[in-house]
Each structure stands twice: as structure tokens, then as C-alpha cells.
């Protein structure tokens, strides 16, 4: 069966490349007239959602989301955090957080991509983790986005995890920002993507269901910076525990 499966997987992953040769110029292109005024970001965000949802549909992915019993306030900002294994994570969060326009904090290398890089740089926050001055500037940019009413999504592992480790250690940034601005954190746990669409260059993956857990928001209202490490550990433990639950369900099937 391997000689049949591998060519099909290769074609399927190549399909992702070709559909984005169309989808990125389409949705990024129509968003350009709205990029230059902050008040138009809700329009830009809708285009991003269309890009994300189009990708999920055309790649044969659908998500099943489990939520704690909480209704999010559409007039409230949040810091979104999640485990991170693939670009599909970004598409999922765009698709789920429909009523909370957010910006991603991402790696600066993406800005080098033709056309996409311009739009990405214009609307998201880029960070060079090897450059201290870049990190300081990023904090200021995040603060500007928060002041303009946007939610922020940060993957606290710092980069896409390609290792076999369940969850890499978290960095401080998301928790520092949440406490300073008294913004609640919403942890997400995303399962299945490491097997279905890993972000490294191997002939591996398949369409199918992606399981997502949206955890109850964690208030930072009464926290100070001395609580940062405890908050970070709490969020880490929540996501890691849920990943173990997802993995155990796979084993017991």
C-alpha cells in the first residue's frame, strides 16, 4: 500500500501549495485597500477568515470544537494562546474567533515572502527572537494593537514544534502582556494536526477531523507581574493535560 499512499499524500500536499497560489493573492489582494486605516480592520479580518476557511475546506479538514460553558463578550479583548504545530493552527483560530478581530505575533521570516509578506507585515506583528531590540519594539506594537481594541494571538512555545515532545516550554511574552493590560487569556488545545499536516517537509498527512478545545478564559484582573510564572504554568498544564486526553482517546479507539 505504501507505493499508493505516498504519491497520493504528495499530490495532496502539493495541492495545498497550488490552492494558496490562488487564495493568497485573492484574499490578500482584496484586503489591500483596507490595510491603511485601523478602523477598517474588521473588513480585513473577514477576508483573512475567508482565506482560512477556504483552505480548511479545500484541504478536506473540518474541526470539532469543545468549549467550556462560557459565552465570550464580543466587546472584550482577549489574549489567545495555543500549542503550535502547523500553519493550520492559524487557520483554525481565524475561523473560530469570528467575533474578536485579532492579530498574530509571528516570526519575521514570513515578511520576506513575495506579496503575502507585505500584507502579513502590515496587519500582524513580526518578531525576530534573536534580536533584543526587535523584541522591545514588538511589545510596543502589541500595546498599540491592544489600545486600538484588538485581541492578540501568541503561540507561547515560540515557534512551530516539530519534535516528538507533547508541548515545548512556554515563553513569558503572552503572560506579561496579559497581566500588564489586565486582559483575560483563552487557552486553546489543538489536536491531530501534528499527524494530519505537520509543518516540516515530509510526505506525511491526510484530510480529516481536527479536535479543538477552547478552555475557559483566565482572568488577570487581580494578578501582578510576580504571578507571571504561576499563570504561565497554569496555562501550560491546562494545554498539556488536554493534549494527553486527546492522545488517550486516540489510543482507546
Please compute the mean of the pLDDT values over residues 86-107 and round it to a whole number: 91
Higher pLDDT, 200 or 177: 177
The pLDDT of residue 131: 67
In which domain, by residue range, is 86 found? 2-252
Confidence check: pLDDT of 187 > 70: yes
The pLDDT of residue 71: 87
Highest mean pLDDT among 2-11, 52-61, 128-137: 52-61
Please compute the mean of the pLDDT values over residues 176-201 and round it to a whole number: 90
Spatial contact of 119 and 35, defined as CB atoms under 8 Å apart: yes
Q: How far apart are CA 147 and CA 143, in angstroms?
A: 6
The alpha carbon of 23 is separated from its chain's Cα centroid by a whole number of angstroms, namely: 19
Highest mean pLDDT among 21-25, 50-54, 124-128, 245-249: 50-54
Q: How far apart are CA 19 and CA 86, in angstroms?
A: 17
Q: For 7-16, 88-97, 101-110, which range has the lowest pLDDT when averaged over its residues?
A: 101-110
pLDDT grade, residue 4 (50/70/90)? very low
pLDDT grade, residue 2 (50/70/90)? very low
**Residue 200: burial class (beta carbons within 10 Å; 0-12, 13-18, 19+):** exposed
CATH number, domain with residue 147? 3.40.1130
pLDDT grade, residue 113 (50/70/90)? low
Confidence check: pLDDT of 101 > 60: yes
Q: How far apart are CA 68 and CA 136, in angstroms?
A: 35
Angle at which helices 116-123 and 2-31 cross, to 10°: 60
- In this predicted model, what pLDDT tens digit does every residue of 24-81 receive, in sequence order? 888 888 888 888 888 889 999 999 999 999 999 999 999 999 998 888 998 899 999 9
Instruction: Identify the CA nearest to 88 among candidates 190, 240, 235.
Output: 190
* β-pair partners for 185: 79, 218
Please count the structural domains in the chain.
1
The pLDDT of residue 249: 78
Confidence check: pLDDT of 1 > 70: no
Amino acid at each position: 500500500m505504501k507505493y499508493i499512499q505516498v504519491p497520493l499524500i504528495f499530490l495532496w500536499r502539493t495541492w495545498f501549495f497550488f490552492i494558496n497560489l490562488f487564495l493568497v493573492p485573492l484574499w490578500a489582494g482584496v484586503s489591500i485597500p483596507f490595510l491603511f486605516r485601523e478602523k477598517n480592520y474588521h473588513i480585513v479580518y473577514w477576508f483573512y477568515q475567508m482565506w482560512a476557511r477556504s483552505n480548511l475546506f479545500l484541504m478536506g479538514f473540518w474541526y470539532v470544537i469543545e468549549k467550556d460553558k462560557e459565552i465570550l463578550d464580543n466587546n472584550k479583548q482577549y489574549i489567545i494562546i495555543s500549542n503550535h504545530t502547523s500553519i493550520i493552527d492559524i487557520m483554525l483560530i481565524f475561523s473560530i474567533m469570528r467575533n474578536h478581530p485579532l492579530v498574530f505575533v509571528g516570526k519575521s521570516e514570513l515578511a520576506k515572502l513575495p506579496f503575502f509578506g507585505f500584507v502579513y507585515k502590515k496587519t500582524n506583528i513580526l518578531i525576530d527572537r534573536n534580536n533584543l531590540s526587535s523584541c522591545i519594539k514588538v511589545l510596543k506594537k502589541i500595546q498599540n494593537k491592544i489600545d486600538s481594541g484588538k485581541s492578540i494571538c501568541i503561540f507561547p512555545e515560540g515557534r512551530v514544534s516539530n519534535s516528538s515532545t507533547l508541548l515545548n516550554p512556554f515563553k513569558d511574552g503572552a503572560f506579561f502582556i496579559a497581566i500588564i493590560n489586565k486582559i483575560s487569556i483563552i487557552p486553546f488545545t489543538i489536536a491531530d494536526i501534528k499527524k494530519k499536516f505537520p509543518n516540516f517537509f515530509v510526505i506525511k498527512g491526510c484530510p480529516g477531523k481536527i479536535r479543538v478545545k477552547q478552555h475557559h478564559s483566565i482572568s488577570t484582573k487581580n494578578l501582578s507581574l510576580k504571578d507571571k510564572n504561576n499563570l504561565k504554568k497554569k496555562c501550560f498544564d491546562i494545554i498539556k493535560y488536554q493534549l494527553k486526553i486527546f492522545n488517550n482517546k486516540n489510543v482507546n479507539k
